[in-house]
Amino acid sequence: MRTFIIGLLVGFGLGVAAGLILAPQSGEDTRALLGEQGIMLRDRSAGLGNQIRTRATNAMAQGREVYSRTKGELTDTYAKAKSGEA
């Protein structure tokens, strides 16, 4: 277990070092870019949330309609079968 933790820490350190050496731009530029992308993602996700909400509402309405229609048909069929009409 101890060897695993040491290996994990060494790997983490090497990953951080490689990231710092191979970074294509400064940290300030990266933070600015991430901030802009975060704003774009937030805006996009707000629109997506509204679309999902609308689709879910429509699906629920369709489901209720199918349920109601099927329940009515089954109730009629059961009533006919029970009275011997079928």
**Domains of the chain: total:** 1
Instruction: Look at residue 57 and tell me if it is in a domain.
Output: yes
What pLDDT is attached to residue 75? 93
Instruction: Look at residue 14 and tell me if it is in a domain.
Output: no
Output the pTM of the full model: 0.46
The closest of 40, 13, 56, 36 to 5, measured between CA atoms, is 13
Instruction: Look at residue 6 and tell me if it is in a domain.
Output: no
Q: Which domain holds residue 68?
A: 51-86
Residue-wise pLDDT tens digits, 34-72: 888 888 888 878 778 888 889 999 999 999 999 999 999
Instruction: Look at residue 56 and tell me if it is in a domain.
Output: yes
Instruction: Look at residue 74 and tell me if it is in a domain.
Output: yes
How many helical (H) and strand (E) elements, i.e. helices and strands, does the chain have? 2, 0
